[in-house]
Amino acid sequence: MSEDATPAIACRNLWQVFGPNAGAELASALAANGGDAAAAAAELRDKGLIPAVQDVGFDVRPGELFVIMGLSGSGKSTLVRGLSRLLDVTAGDVRIQGEDIAAGSKARLIELRRKKLGMVFQHFGLFPHMSVLDNVAYPLRVQGIPRARRHAKAREVIELVGLGGRESAFPRTLSGGQRQRVGIARSLVGDCEVWFLDEPFSALDPLIRRQLQDEFLQIRAKLNTTIVFITHDIAEALKLADRIAIMRDGEVIQIGTPAQIVLNPVDSYVREFARDVAKGRHARVASVMKPASGITGDGPALREGMTLDAALATCVAAQAPVPVTDGAGKIVGQVDPADLVSALHVDDR
Ligand SMILES: Nc1ncnc2c1ncn2[C@@H]1O[C@H](COP(=O)(O)OP(=O)(O)OP(=O)(O)O)[C@@H](O)[C@H]1O
């Protein structure tokens, strides 16, 4: 993607304050504090209001998988509801593919939701009396798409999420992981361009969760969708994200690639998240190396015997595979920085 492409999502100075007269209270707190967001938020809290999202701004690039991570209550869900306009934010600007979503009519918003935005939540919200096929096809039915066409499309996405053959099953006969796959298929059936997922795997046991994360990455590779994914699980964030935004008490306190977050945590809060992630001191580059495929020796290079931590530090800025050399300087393989990060932070949990 070129740097100057219109962001898939752009938000600026976004605030969501819960409490009476939130808009007026926010404006007066900002004015009283010379525009200082942290001071204004503190004042609002003192008055008993809840600044759930506090002066948040970032761009999500087209096709990016952007993870929002933070502890329970840090404001992740509220932020995503603001981005998708499931709620009208107290202040700030949100643009989806350049379009100001607060400025549009209700009809335009409904159209956006149907045609561009997909959503998946932790609780699957399936219709118990409908089969898998009808659940998945439901958004197309709402759009008035004829039965044969909507079923054909639904079968396609059911296949994509690995549920082929279960089309006529009812939700109660499915496992939690299977139900979540149905939820994912349903949100994909409309060919959304911007896909919001709010803790979609949190209710699942760890093994199924990891399996779904792997499948999710495979699905993602087949789509051309921008994804905003919420989680409170650092391992999940590091495994999935192109970039991670870390939230604390309504604020986004750091945005970076998984490697940047792990190597350069902005403060002790972020460091704490990455604390129990320590395989890197022991495992060696050879464990994540793939055969060299035409890679040259320009730029940074790793050595086979390096620890994963040292390797990560060497290729923190690398966007492409990095060559691995033996003691004599001969290229013996290559390492994809993404594999390095995921080996470090997921496989040993
Ligand atoms: N409708 C509401 N009215 C009042 N306060 C709310 C409302 N919705 C959320 N909050 C508050 O806003 C803050 C952020 O909540 P939010 O649900 O966005 O956090 P979260 O990071 O998504 O948490 P979790 O991981 O537990 O879902 C919390 O203090 C919450 O109590």
pLDDT per residue over 9-43, tens digit each?
Answer: 999 999 999 999 999 999 999 999 999 999 999 99
Select the more confidently predicted residue: 250 or 287: 250
In the chain, the amino acid numbered 281 is R
Residue 81 Cβ < 6 Å to ligand 1: no
Q: How far is the CA of 15 from the centre of ligand 1 (A)?
A: 13
Q: What is the pTM assigned to this prediction?
A: 0.79
Tokens at residue 145, please? Answer: 């798409």
Report the candidate in 271, 249, 254 with the shortest Cα–Cα distance to residue 262: 271
Residue 187 Cβ < 6 Å to ligand 1: no
271: pLDDT confidence band, cut at 50, 70 and 90?
confident
Residue 54 Cβ < 6 Å to ligand 1: no
- Main-chain dihedrals φ then ψ at residue 46, nearest 5 degrees: -60, -30
Rounded to whole angstroms, how far apart are CA atoms 117 and 189?
Answer: 11
| 154 close to 137: Cβ distance less than 8 angstroms | yes
Closest atom of ligand 1 relative to the 75 alpha carbon: 18
| Superfamily for the 279-345 domain | CBS-domain (3.10.580.10)
Q: How far is the CA of 225 from the centre of ligand 1 (A)?
A: 27
Residues with Cβ within 8 Å of residue 58, at least 6 apart in sequence: 10, 11, 245, 252, 255
Q: How far is the CA of 77 from the centre of ligand 1 (A)?
A: 7
Closest residue to atom 12 of ligand 1, CA basis: 52
Residue 76 Cβ < 6 Å to ligand 1: yes
Q: How far is the CA of 81 from the centre of ligand 1 (A)?
A: 11
Rounded to whole angstroms, how far apart are CA atoms 332 and 189?
Answer: 44
Q: How far is the CA of 73 from the centre of ligand 1 (A)?
A: 5
Closest atom of ligand 1 relative to the 78 alpha carbon: 18
Lowest mean pLDDT of 227-236, 260-269, 271-280, name the range: 271-280
Element (H, E) at 243: strand 243-248
Decide which of 3.40.50.300, 1.20.950.20, 2.60.120.920, 3.40.50.150 is the CATH code for 60-273.
Answer: 3.40.50.300
pLDDT in tens, 197-206: 999 888 778 8
Rounded to whole angstroms, how far apart are CA atoms 249 and 171?
Answer: 36
Tokens at residue 167, please? Answer: 């089309």
Domain residue ranges of the chain, discontinuous segments joined by +: 60-273, 279-345
Distance of CA 182 to the CA centre of its chain: 19
At residue 275, the pLDDT reads: 66
At residue 267, the pLDDT reads: 87
Closest residue to atom 30 of ligand 1, CA basis: 73
Closest atom of ligand 1 relative to the 250 alpha carbon: 14
* Probe residue for ligand 1, chosen from 44, 76, 202 as the CB with the greatest number of ligand atoms within 8 Å: 76
Exposure string (b/e) for 80-98, b if CB count within 10 Å is 16 or more? bbbbbbbbebbbbebbbbe
Q: How far is the CA of 52 from the centre of ligand 1 (A)?
A: 6
348: pLDDT confidence band, cut at 50, 70 and 90?
very low
Rounded to whole angstroms, how far apart are CA atoms 17 and 195?
Answer: 25
Distance of CA 129 to the CA centre of its chain: 31
Closest residue to atom 2 of ligand 1, CA basis: 18
- 343 secondary structure, DSSP code: H
In the chain, the amino acid numbered 158 is I
Report the candidate in 14, 24, 66, 65 with the shortest Cα–Cα distance to residue 47: 24
Percentage of the chain exceeding pLDDT 70: 93
Closest atom of ligand 1 relative to the 19 alpha carbon: 4
Rounded to whole angstroms, how far apart are CA atoms 329 and 78?
Answer: 52
Most confident of 197-206, 266-275, 294-303: 197-206
Residue that is written with structure tokens 């998984």 in the block: 258
316: pLDDT strictly greater than 70: yes
Cα atoms in the 13 Å half-sphere on the side-chain side of 176: 13
305: pLDDT confidence band, cut at 50, 70 and 90?
confident
At residue 319, the pLDDT reads: 74
Residue 78 Cβ < 6 Å to ligand 1: yes
Q: How far is the CA of 4 from the centre of ligand 1 (A)?
A: 34
Cα dihedral sign, 338-341-343-345 = negative
Residue 73 Cβ < 6 Å to ligand 1: yes
Q: ipTM of the assembly?
A: 0.96
Average pLDDT of the segment spanning 311-318 = 78
Average pLDDT of the segment spanning 278-287 = 65
Closest atom of ligand 1 relative to the 230 alpha carbon: 22
Percentage of the chain exceeding pLDDT 90: 43
Q: How far is the CA of 51 from the centre of ligand 1 (A)?
A: 10
Closest atom of ligand 1 relative to the 80 alpha carbon: 18
108: pLDDT confidence band, cut at 50, 70 and 90?
confident
Q: What angle do helix axes 176-188 and 147-160 make, rounded to 10 degrees?
A: 130
252: pLDDT confidence band, cut at 50, 70 and 90?
very high
Tokens at residue 104, please? Answer: 């549009």
Average pLDDT of the segment spanning 185-208 = 85
At residue 147, the pLDDT reads: 94
DSSP-derived pairing of the beta strands 226-231 and 243-248: unpaired
Rounded to whole angstroms, how far apart are CA atoms 174 and 132?
Answer: 9
Report the candidate in 342, 340, 319, 323 with the shortest Cα–Cα distance to residue 332: 323
Closest residue to atom 4 of ligand 1, CA basis: 18
DSSP-derived pairing of the beta strands 91-96 and 9-18: antiparallel
Tokens at residue 123, please? Answer: 């609780």
1: pLDDT strictly greater than 60: no
